[in-house]
A and B are shown apart, each in its own frame.
Chain A
């Protein structure tokens, strides 16, 4: 089984500028402070490829190795190939005030019933991490560049 989490933020900036920043893994991943550990391993010129990526859940780092890709100029995605099984898709869409950035995460924990319970408990903290990341991105785009 798995849980899905989806969070969005409106950024009052031109959609193309937002897409350029939000879908650049070398800009996005260091900016999102909730990722306690992130390290590019084998990446191409735009930052796509293998990364080690962990988020801080309480006092532990949860995550693993992910493969980052850019399916189109307005989206970024990654899929875990080692560690906690999860996938994330970030999309940028036009919005009357500028752009809407959405992060959708699907998380799957092993362990039968305890895994199922863990997934439910992880839903809240994962959502708060997505919101924190999106708010950092929004503030950076609206006030720091």
Chain B
């Protein structure tokens, strides 16, 4: 009992919001069971890690699965398995609503998640780590299910400026299946604006969702995902300096990166025979 209590205290202990909050020992202990769970529950497949250069990079992904974002966890697990816990650390940037949650926030900081912000990302690069961002944020994670295989970065180009300023390469990552773990009926941007949730909580989308155990819910709370097959593909690195020089045309760069990711996302989606089953 004492051992169980001490483990529970260990899991729930507060952690700082930064690279120093990542707990390699915690990841090492949890990795085998969590990866097994990801394999059995989501039949997770992640391919293309051999393309990642041995230097800090900015992983850029499409965001799916409402507030539970199961594919983000699969990616963190897969990264730590492939590159080892002692290898180059990967830090994921997440919405404050997740990192500020009392229990969940501390838990995800231990596995390498921090509150999204350019300064945090720059600190990680300076310390030799890589960063994982989802430019589409809550808008993309809460897009309607009918658009599950569409990329939606909502025109946000901050990730390009972050990447360019830090002279790191972009490594795009596309994923399917995460958005089949719940059902989202509509685009909730207009409703979020009308209810001023976008200003109060900085949540830009408030659609009607159907998830377990909540049932019908406006917006998204962390839920138990359906056991959908998750596929992820890491793409070739993109060097913005090489492609666009020191003063890039941001619209052109945005257009290229999102176009390439949409092409690969659609190709990955075509590998799925049936939704959820994969």
Contacts and interface: CB of A to CB of B under 8 A. Distances in A.
> For this complex, into which size category does the number of interface residues on chain B fall?
10 to 19
A124 B267 contact: no
Nearest to A58: B273
A45 B81 CA distance: 51
Interface in B229-278: 255-256, 259-260, 262-263, 266-267, 269-275
B263 A139 contact: yes
A87 interface: no
Given A128-B149, A131-B149, A143-B256, A136 B273 contact: no
Interface string B50-94: 000000000000000000000000000000000000000000000
Contact of B259 (A34, A128, A134, A142): A142
Contacts of B273: 57-58, 121, 125
Interface in A1-41: 33-34
A110 interface: no
Interface of A: 33-34, 56-58, 121, 124-125, 128-129, 131-132, 134-136, 138-139, 142-143
Contacts of A121: 273-274
The interface residues of chain B, by DSSP majority, are classed as: helix
B141 to A, nearest CB: 21
5 contacts: A128-B272, A131-B269, A136-B266, A139-B259, A143-B259
Given A57-B273, A124-B274, A124-B275, A135 B267 contact: yes
Interface of B: 149, 255-256, 259-260, 262-263, 266-267, 269-275
A138 B270 CA distance: 16
A67 B156 CA distance: 45
Nearest to A134: B266
A56 B272 CA distance: 10
A33 B271 contact: no
Contacts of A33: 267
A131 B268 CA distance: 11
A136 B263 contact: yes
Given A128-B149, A143-B256, A135 B263 contact: yes
A58 B43 CA distance: 14
A29 to B, nearest CB: 15
Contact of A131 (B260, B266, B271): B266
Nearest to B262: A135
Q: Which of B267, B270, B272 has the most A CB atoms < 10 Å from its CB?
A: B270
Contact of A135 (B266, B271, B274): B266
Contacts of B270: 34, 56, 125, 128-129, 131-132
Q: Which of B259, B266, B271, B274 has the most A CB atoms < 10 Å from its CB?
A: B266
B275 A136 contact: no
Contacts of A134: 266
A117 to B, nearest CB: 12
